[in-house]
Structure 1
Amino acid sequence: MNIYLTIAGFLSAIAAVMHLGCIYFGAPWYRFFGAGEQMARLAEQGSPKPTWITCGVALVLSVWALYAFSGAGIIQKLPFTRLVLIAICLVYTTRGIAGFFFILSPMGRSVEFWIWSSTICLVIGLLHCIGLKLQWVSLSL
């Protein structure tokens, strides 16, 4: 079992559940987690847009968690595990690094949102990268 991919998978799964929490608890959660005032208002107005967007994010994070667990050896090997984990590493680390550039121009979100979310994405991305490096030989394309 690869501890780095295991932790990364659990963190992605937690993030997915937190996104589902935003759907269930509505505008206050969208605001608290920094989704932006527009998303919070749309949720308050009963618009389906925040639900669909957030469901999509939760689905992607859930799939990423499954691939991390697959790479860690917790569940059976999924197709293209190595390639998918490479992509996950790239997305998380790129998002983590890029987010710090939005601190000066936060685009409707708070500076705290960009700092926290970018740090979290960078940590999860690095966990994926370390775990992938350790599992590289045992993972098939």
Structure 2
Amino acid sequence: MTANPWLVMAGALNAAASVAHLAIIAGGPRWYEFFGAGPRMVSLAEQGSPKATLITLAIAGVLAVWSAYALSGAGLIPRLPLLKLALAAISAVYLLRAVGYIPALYATGVPVGVFAWISSAIVLVYAVAHILGTLQLWRT
């Protein structure tokens, strides 16, 4: 069986995002700010609150699990439970984040900066990789 290239890419992207979140914790408040965390998260990091670290660790953990699901769908690691359903849900979350983030910011009156546009474009790449890989897997 040949590995599903879209899900290999999706797994690598998820793993990179997970590691990036760990690096943000290590980098401290300026890293939170640079990578687009909201002012509240930046403030928590500046205060040395464990809440910022715990939230960021949780995000890194979710992304690591999503990486495992993508790599499982690619056939590189053993099959995980509810694989197709999980990959469809992950695809939907990424797509919703990619197309819904900027409208949500506008709706709440939050200024839409360059970070919002760049991060939405990046997440759209994640969504496309997951969607195409999941569709390919679903056909098999």
Runs of 4+ in 1 over 2 A off after TM superposition: 102-110
Q: Per the alignment, do residues 108 and 56 of structure 1 end up closer, same or farther by CA in structure 2, a change over 3 Å counting? A: farther
5+ long unaligned stretches in structure 1: none
| Aligned-pair identity (%) | 44
Match of 1:23 in 2: 25
- Separation in structure 2 between the aligned mates of residue 102 and residue 112 of structure 1, nearest angstrom: 15
- Separation in structure 1 between the aligned mates of residue 63 and residue 118 of structure 2, nearest angstrom: 17
- Separation in structure 2 between the aligned mates of residue 12 and residue 107 of structure 1, nearest angstrom: 30
Q: CA RMSD in A?
A: 1.7
TM-score normalised by structure 2 residue count: 0.91
- The residue type paired with residue 39 of structure 1 is M
TM-score normalised by structure 1 residue count: 0.90
- Separation in structure 1 between the aligned mates of residue 18 and residue 30 of structure 2, nearest angstrom: 17
Q: Per the alignment, do residues 93 and 109 of structure 1 end up closer, same or farther by CA in structure 2, a change over 3 Å counting? A: same
- The residue type paired with residue 125 of structure 1 is A
Match of 2:117 in 1: 115
- The residue type paired with residue 54 of structure 1 is T
Q: Is the 8 A contact 1:16 1:57 kept in 2?
A: yes
5+ long unaligned stretches in structure 2: none
Q: Per the alignment, do residues 88 and 28 of structure 1 end up closer, same or farther by CA in structure 2, a change over 3 Å counting? A: same
- The residue type paired with residue 113 of structure 2 is V
1:1-141 equivalent positions in 2, closer than 5 A: 1-102=3-104, 104=106, 111-138=113-140
TM-aligned CA deviation for residue 100 of structure 1: 2.6
Q: Per the alignment, do residues 35 and 97 of structure 1 end up closer, same or farther by CA in structure 2, a change over 3 Å counting? A: same
Q: Is the 8 A contact 2:6 2:132 kept in 1?
A: yes
Q: Is the 8 A contact 1:34 1:109 kept in 2?
A: no
TM-aligned CA deviation for residue 37 of structure 1: 2.3
For residues 82-116 of structure 1, give each alpha carbon's deviation from its aligned partner in whole angstroms, at most 9, with x where no partner exists: 01001001000011000131454676675122111
- Separation in structure 2 between the aligned mates of residue 105 and residue 84 of structure 1, nearest angstrom: 29
Q: Is the 8 A contact 2:72 2:78 kept in 1?
A: yes
TM-aligned CA deviation for residue 40 of structure 1: 1.5
Q: How many residues align?
A: 138
